[in-house]
Structure 1
Amino acid sequence: MTSHTLRAAVIGVGSMGRNHARVYASLPGVELAAVCDTNYAAASNLANIYRCRIYTDYHEMLANEDLDLVSVVVPTKYHFALAEAVIAHGVHVLIEKPIAATVEQGWMLIEAARRQGVLLTVGHIERFNPAIIALKEQLQNHELGNLFQIMSRRVGPFPARIMDVGVVIDLATHEIDILNYLIGSPIVRMHVELHRHLHQSHEDMLSALLRFENGMIGMLDINWLTPTKIRELSVVGERGMFVANYLTQDLTFYENDACQGRAWPELALIGVSEGRSIRLKVPRREPLYEELRSFCEAVRYGTEPVVSGEAGVNALAIANQMVEIGLRDQPAARLIERALAVGG
């Protein structure tokens, strides 16, 4: 156990990095020691707010500061180099998802952290969403009985700031990790449709149909084309359906009135009917605050982080497979040409 004040730093102070800095500065027993960004003005503005040191070179920051932990919050293509440098200095690291640009780089970072004896975690923030945590508890308690289907919708406006990856890596990795967390069964088959309407070089729409080894069916609806942000996940089982709203952190149970304690296969002879809708009591918390608090506790007490590097690699590998399958019968060049033709 580490009893001293933990010294934290953030590399990359864009929209997400600024929030990492804000949370570290507010956590008890944690000092935001430094921020680093190639944009000096952005780093300076943040440093003036939180009274921490400014760097534009992460090598200089790692050499000069005695740090306990670092958040790497930069474009995906820079994850590997920055995280590798942090690990090499013996500093615990949180890498915003995805873990790296490639699966191979992800495994290299995991091995480097193991050799150095430091913690590595990946910023799959929805693991810390109270609605998802409550849903996991309900499923573990078998409140739905046999599970049939899981559906996830993560859509919203086009983010002009994201240019290095498409919607699969940026958004679908959230849902892939949550499916792994909630279902715990490998995907054995998938059908994927991709399209590019607005993004200059990557897909901005994903529709996927999944089959899990346990027999469940999954559906993903992910895009950057919807004029309002929707973040919703539903699970259907023999006793009804749970719907989790990521944004409001509401969890609602829609009862199958025909069930009334009956078990499958008897229920199959009766069918499904509409019953009560019950909104469960879920305490609201900021997921990022909970994520960074959990990371700091893991560093302080020497425990394993909630989201392992292996979980991050798994989410990235499945996302890459979705892109590969989506483009297999429709090469990228033809996909882009068709999208431009439709857009024109």
Structure 2
Amino acid sequence: MKIVQIGTGGWGKNHARVLSELGVLSAICDVDAQRSKEYGEKYSVNHYTSLDKMMISEEFDGAMVVTPTFTHTTITKKLLESKKHVFVEKPLTYKTEEGEELVKIAGKNKVILTCGYIERFNPAVGVVKNLVKEKKYGDLIMLEFHRENRMPLNIKDIGIIYDTSVHDIDTANWLFDEMPIVVFAKAGKINHKYEDFASIMLGYKENKVAIISSNWITPKKVRTFSAVCSDAIISSDFISQEVKIEKKDETEIPRNEKQEPLLLEIQNFLDSINGEKEQIVKIQEAVNVTKIAEAALLSSQKGIPIYLNLK
């Protein structure tokens, strides 16, 4: 299998590394000529600054699109129309309408289209997902997420909701195994062009709720979440991948093998192309996350809850 990488800045360099480790990286494309050359030579593959030139010159099965969000639609559309399988880093698009257009093109051309919601591949989230599914500690009632850090220097085209909160929006949907029916949010900005802190409440059926707190202000990096079940509180750290279960009279620490989520995520993309495994992040789910992010921004601006009717 041959996979090309489009975009090698910031998070993209990690995708290139994993693709090379898996032996499927076949070419690099980046508008920054120096960076394109650097990674092309590092992994001994052809390198380009033009997507069109790469598509003419290279034979490949799929592509990783790890570029600024405002470029996702144009790049992905071109690849899908050429019947290439595509993995797009989150968020899929700025606008729901653009995401829905990409879904239609992928369906028409019968190719895989997925989005990089990496926390689904975090072993800690997998442990919690299984515990919730089995109802080992009763029903899942509430989720709470904290994702905090200093503002990343490479994020210039979007605010914290689209860049950071979307991870937890997707994880909440996955753990509840349904879509929210209402969103209420408050956000603001201190150091960034766009919002750099936000609190989002997602309301689900039967009064279930997810509370998502994100900011680019806190100097210490925090990536934690907790699941409140009727018989226990399950808490976890996305970074350490540790899980703790607190019951009335005792605390459990399940054994859990630490793994690299990005490796698992990319492997699932490759396996879904081969038809060996089911695609874990369905593309309509990624479109829904964009729609929820849009609703969160609108809620913050208007100071009102936004009601949703998602597929």
TM-score interval (norm. to shorter): over 0.9
The aligned residue for residue 326 of structure 1 is 300
| Aligned mates of 1:56, 1:17 — CA distance in 2 | 15
| Residue 45 in structure 1 maps to residue 38 in structure 2 | yes
Spell out, residue by residue over 1:37-92, the C-alpha distance to the aligned partner (whole angstroms, 9 max, x if none): 01111111111111000100011111111101100000000000000111111110
2:192 to 191, 195, 199: 199
Instruction: Map 1:125-144 to 2 at 5 A.
Output: 125-144=118-137
| Aligned mates of 2:97, 2:184 — CA distance in 1 | 25
The aligned residue for residue 13 of structure 2 is 18
Indicate conservation of the 8 Å contact 1:153/1:220, yes or no: yes
The aligned residue for residue 158 of structure 2 is 165
Where does structure 2 lack aligned partners over 5 or more consecutive residues?
A: 305-311
| Aligned mates of 2:230, 2:277 — CA distance in 1 | 37
Indicate conservation of the 8 Å contact 2:103/2:283, yes or no: yes
Instruction: Map 1:216-235 to 2 at 5 A.
Output: 216-235=208-227
In structure 1, the residue corresponding to 2:55 is in which secondary structure?
Answer: helix
The aligned residue for residue 182 of structure 2 is 189
| Residue 114 in structure 1 maps to residue 88 in structure 2 | no
The aligned residue for residue 239 of structure 1 is 231
Over aligned residues, Cα RMSD in angstroms? Answer: 1.3
Spell out, residue by residue over 1:252-308, the C-alpha distance to the aligned partner (whole angstroms, 9 max, x if none): 10112xxxxxxxxxxxxxxxxxx2221111111100000001111111226542111
| Aligned mates of 2:5, 2:122 — CA distance in 1 | 22
Spell out, residue by residue over 1:180-222, the C-alpha distance to the aligned partner (whole angstroms, 9 max, x if none): 100023323333111101102x101101233211221221111
| Aligned mates of 2:143, 2:112 — CA distance in 1 | 32
| Aligned mates of 1:176, 1:159 — CA distance in 2 | 20
| Aligned mates of 1:299, 1:32 — CA distance in 2 | 15
| Aligned mates of 1:40, 1:204 — CA distance in 2 | 31
TM-score of the superposition, structure 1-length normalised? 0.86
The aligned residue for residue 272 of structure 1 is none
In structure 1, the residue corresponding to 2:2 is in which secondary structure?
Answer: strand
The aligned residue for residue 308 of structure 1 is 282
Q: Which amino acid aligns with 2:227?
A: V
1:291 to 262, 265, 277: 265
In structure 2, the residue corresponding to 1:54 is in which secondary structure?
Answer: strand
Higher Cα Rg, which structure: 1
Where does structure 1 lack aligned partners over 5 or more consecutive residues?
A: 1-5, 257-274, 331-344
Q: Which amino acid aligns with 1:280?
A: P
In structure 1, the residue corresponding to 2:24 is in which secondary structure?
Answer: strand
Q: How many residues align?
A: 304
The aligned residue for residue 207 of structure 2 is 215
In structure 2, the residue corresponding to 1:227 is in which secondary structure?
Answer: coil
Change (3 A) 1:105 1:190: closer
Indicate conservation of the 8 Å contact 2:90/2:115, yes or no: yes
